Amino acid sequence: MTTTLITGANKGLGFETARRLVAAGHTVHVGARDAERGRRAADELGARFVQIDVTDDTSVEAAAKTLEAAGGLDVLINNAGVETRTEDNGVPVAATVTADQMRTTFETNVFGVVRVLHAFLPLLQRSAAPVVVNVSSGLGSLTHLSDPDHPAHFYPGVAYPTSKTAVNMLTVQYAKAFPAMRINSVEPGFTKTDLNGNTGTQTVAEGAEIIVRMAQVAPDGPTGGFFDAKGPLPW
Catalytic residues: 160, 164
CB atoms within 10 A of CB 71: 11
User: In this structure, is the dihedral angle defined by the CA atoms of residues 33, 112, 44 and 16, taken in order, positive or negative?
Assistant: positive
Q: Which residues contact 126 (CB under 8 A, 6 or more apart)?
A: 72
Edge-to-edge strand list for the sheet holding 27-32:
48-51, 27-32, 3-6, 75-78, 131-135, 182-186, 226-228, 231-232
Residue type, 155: Y
Residue 181's Cβ-side half-sphere holds a number of Cα atoms within 13 Å equal to 30
